[in-house]
Amino acid sequence: QELTTVRVQDPRVHNEGSWNSYVDYKIFLHTNSKAFTAKTSCVRRRYREFVWLRRQLQRNAGLVPVPELPGKSAFFVGSTDEFIERRRQGLQRFLEK
């Protein structure tokens, strides 16, 4: 049986305390599918890259509903651990769907 798992983990705050701070997340993929040459992959992505991915999926999905992303904070201030963890969990659910 083919299996693919994806995990969103290890959020990192960059430029903490400045007006242009942001968080990126480690996206880890593992599969035993023959369709993939690499069985594991790991990249770091920002929330805005998930927004881009969702738009691309919507463009090509036809009538298939595309899952929602977790909310965006208009005023992200530093490292609100609870907010970052809620967003990480929401991004995890998005990728699983």
Q: Which two tokens stand for residue 70?
A: 């977790």
Angstrom distance (rounded) from CA 71 to CA 83:
10
Tokens at residue 11, please? Answer: 């959020």
pLDDT digit string (tens) for the chain, length 97 residues: 999 999 999 999 998 878 888 899 999 999 999 988 999 999 999 999 999 999 999 998 888 899 999 987 655 555 478 888 989 999 999 999 8
pTM score of the predicted model: 0.83
Task: Give the 3-state secondary structure of residue 81.
Answer: helix
What architecture (CATH level 2) is domain 4-96?
2-Layer Sandwich (3.30)
pLDDT of residue 75: 58
Query: Rounded CA gap, 66 and 60, in Å?
Result: 10
Decide if 30 contacts 40 (C-beta within 8 A).
yes
